[in-house]
Chains A and B, each alone.
Chain A
Amino acid sequence: MIRDVSVKRKHRTSLLAKFRKHWQLHVLALPVLVYLLIFSYAPMFGVVLAFERYSIAKGFFGSPWQGLENFEFMFATQNAWRITRNTVLYNIAFICVNTTLSILLALILNEMYIKRLSKAVQTLLIMPYFLSMSIVAIVVWGFIGPKGAVTSILLKILGRPASTDLYTYTPLWPFLLVLISAWKGVGYTAIVYVASISGISGEYYEAAVLDGASKLQQARYITLPHLKHIIVIMLILSMGGMFRGDMGLNYNVTQHRGELYPVIDIIDTYVYNALKVQRNTGMAAAAGLYQSVVGFVLIILSNKIVRRVDEESALY
């Protein structure tokens, strides 16, 4: 017993000594630590909102308990299925289209041997990456709004009455959102790949040429394998985000028109509407918790899979 206490005390003093020795490091870490405690960790405990009927007066832990009622309400309607399907399908489409296109563009940009032209093209391709979704929404409106440049051409071709509103035409939007996402993101990702390709040692290519490898074979057996690591990292990150949508695309760009909701409603827009429009905090929190928990499971799973396949590429 006596020994135990002394060991403990020794441990404690050594901890204190350690702290004293490095107190300046702790001070340097403090601002971010406090920030994360308030803005990241406190909300994690705030997920209890999903299980109660929240009232401001009673606060987080005083509001009446409701059990799983909020979840039952959400899953009883078609909404849960609809928002899950839309969120996941959009993400899959974005990942497939954007990854394929940006690798393709990177390979081409890298082979163009007038480097100035290649650089100029890169600078233009990256431009939409710097636009905010508010701007993108207005640009899209400029094309397909009531007075839009595309709308007027369509009207001429189809001869439809002027009241036709593309913002109510559901079949268009899934394709349009994938197109906008590609327009906005592909150039940037492609240039990141170009940067990684230029980091590959020239010796590999020299050896391949000596062995008579064609350009396509070089791309297939040297360039792509070298890009594997960065591609896999990006894929895991997007796998983990499979349950997270983009409010910019599905809310702002679509003008969140009611008619479009069957094809644009995602978990994020659902949470936002439940919180700000219907003012049903419990239901919004339930949908949000569903999103967080599945997202957590997905990122853990995808990282496990990657560790098994290729330990180097794992996130942790």
Chain B
Amino acid sequence: MARDKSDGSSFEKINRIKPGTNLLFSVVMSVLAVLTVLPVLLVFIISITSSDSLAHRSFSFFPESTSFIAYQGLFKTGSRLLDSYIITVEVTALHTVLSVLIMTMYAYVLAQQRFGGRKFYTFVVFFTMLFSGGLVPSYIINVNVLHMYDSFWILLLSGMVGTFNIIVLRTFITTTIPIELFDAAQIDGASDFTVFFRIVLPLSKAGLATIGLFVLVGKWNEWFTGILYIENPKLTPLQTMLTRIQQKLDYITQNSSYASSPDGLQMLKNMPSEQTRMAIVVITTMPVLFAYPFFQRYFIRGMTIGSVKG
């Protein structure tokens, strides 16, 4: 914002690159930007390509004929898709709220300069960045001790606490809320709960939004937890479902003998068509792709705060 204002200043005008260079940069960067989004455009075009043109031609940016039939059949026939959509929305929403809340609570504790337990709590969260038990012990604990295989809980809980996010939130609290405010509240006899819920939460809305968006997009896009732990179709998140369909299709196409066997034929019959798969991709990605331009500055702020050591 401040940068935009200074655009008109005479110094910026003197210290400009040459118009020719600017033109070159503008053209190269515009081409690069278009190339960046083209792959996603291809997916959208495949999803609206008619079955006739797909049957005897490969994927193309310029299909012979188009049809929106894949979208029409999507939610009607695929109740599995609807299930997946619902579970993904539920998990993402609940996960984001809980994750941001407990991480902010913790970040507030880390922001207490005069609290003796601060060092301990900082170490506890920081050490997880240095060493981790790895996938296998986590898997065994989650499955055999906590019995969370194929359950809603593993989807909700996995990845709920991120060290980096806590550090960003702590930095946000220490840099935006003046310490005098805490002192004043304490003199007035406010408890830590009151300070946290009445002062810290309302004043760090921007920080919460930043981290909340990171958590939200991360959870929406998560596919591996589902691959590891979920079998029940009703609990399968969208991204996991897409990966599973893709894996099955790849398996069939590379085993031509299997593809022509009765089992294989049956499986192929049950597979969604190319357009349908691409249509699922489109409706899975659309919420994020339409929303991010509006929240772009929050994402960038999150990264820039995170790189400042508090």
Contacts and interface: CB of A to CB of B under 8 A. Distances in A.
Interface of A: 18, 22, 24-29, 31-33, 35-36, 38-47, 49-50, 54, 56, 59-60, 105, 108-109, 111-115, 117-118, 120-128, 130-135, 137-139, 141-143, 146-149, 151-152, 165, 167, 183, 187-188, 191-192, 195-196, 198-199, 202, 205-206, 209, 215, 218, 229-230, 233-234, 240, 247-248, 252, 255, 257, 268, 271-272, 275-276, 281, 284-285, 288-289, 291-292, 295-296, 299-300, 315-316
A240 to B, nearest CB: 8
Given A36-B161, A38-B146, A45-B133, 9 more contacts: A33-B121, A33-B124, A40-B128, A43-B134, A46-B140, A126-B296, A126-B299, A146-B253, A247-B224
A32 B129 CA distance: 15
Interface core residue of A54, A127, A209, A295 (most chain B CB under 10 Å): A127
Quick one: which of B54, B250, B307, B309 has the most chain A CB within 10 A? B307
B184 interface: no
Contacts of B59: 142-143, 147-149, 152
Is the contact region of chain B dominated by helix, strand, or loop, or is it mixed? helix
A112 B29 contact: yes
Contacts of B223: 132-134, 248, 252
A24 B240 CA distance: 40
A209 B14 CA distance: 9
Contacts of B71: none
Contacts of B117: 22, 25-26, 29
Nearest to A126: B296
Interface hub of B124, B128, B130, B274 (most chain A Cβ within 10 A): B130
B217 A130 contact: yes
Contacts of A205: 11, 15
A230 B271 CA distance: 47
Interface residues of B, number: 107
Contacts of B46: 142
Contacts of A105: 29
B187 interface: no
B89 to A, nearest CB: 15
Interface in B251-300: 253-254, 274, 277-278, 281, 284-285, 288-289, 292-293, 296, 299-300
B37 A127 contact: yes
Contacts of A192: 300, 303-304, 307
A121 B133 contact: no
Interface in B105-145: 105-106, 108-109, 112, 115-117, 121, 124-126, 128-141, 144
Contacts of A47: 133-134, 137
Contacts, number: 308
B250 A143 contact: no
Given A113-B22, A142-B59, A125 B36 contact: yes
B30 A24 contact: no
A57 B132 CA distance: 25
A32 B120 CA distance: 13
B196 to A, nearest CB: 6
A115 B58 contact: no
Interface stretch (B2-10, B74-82, B204-212): B2-10
8 contacts: A38-B146, A49-B140, A113-B7, A123-B296, A127-B36, A148-B59, A192-B303, A276-B228
